Structure 1
Amino acid sequence: MTDVPAPIATTRIISVSIPASDQERAKQYYCDLLGFDLLIDEQLWPGARLIEVGLPGSEVVLSLLDRDGEIPIGVRMAVPDADAAHRVIKAHDPSVRDEVLRLDFAPPMFEFTDPDGNVLVYLQEV
């Protein structure tokens, strides 16, 4: 074990990704049939279209992502300090990427996997 403090102060689930073979068809299904509201439909960069749908009153959104796209399919969660959370995860799992990702249009974040290989992403609260 390690001397780095745990557990991490995870504050909320932000989104759950659903892999889509056809994002437009998925958007129509969730919005037109299931009654979700379209929250975001943006091309972040080539090969990275972000579609998020949600229900009134729910803080958790569904991200309808291209199953073969550049945005990782996974569960996104919030933490007060992405760098501190990264240090804790890295101390327990050396395979975690070396650095927190910093983009101009998003809060600091990093990706890791649970023991079963499920992708998890921590984003710093803004």
Structure 2
Amino acid sequence: MDYTLEVIPLPVSDLDRAKEFYETKCGFHVDIDQEVVPGVRLVQLTPPGSGCSVVLGDTVWESTPGPTPEPGSYQGLQLCVSDLKQAREELTARGLELSEPVSYADADGATFMYFTDPDGNGWSIQEYKVRAARPLREVI
């Protein structure tokens, strides 16, 4: 049996501001933006090429047990690209503020850059050059 990670709920304080940030500055595709039940709006976005999406909001945790995370409390969310320089050029052209690339070793997968969303949720972008030749999933 295969198990796929397809959606991560992401705590944000303002759905419209977060949607605009992820769509405009990060280039995520808006999959869903609708009221699913009265008073509950669902905004789901997917990074280009990804099989996993984020669902924005503060009401997505109401049906799950456990504590409700605060906006900005998620750190270490990670995107992978095969060409960090190209990704940096695309994202900065969109107006995204990124750290300078940091290389922790000479090995493939050891170079990163970082950004935060308007609430302070922290993301890294890892350069993993092997993805150019061996993507995680088949491109349709």
TM-score (normalised: structure 1): 0.47
TM-score (normalised: structure 2): 0.42
* Structure with the larger strand share: 1
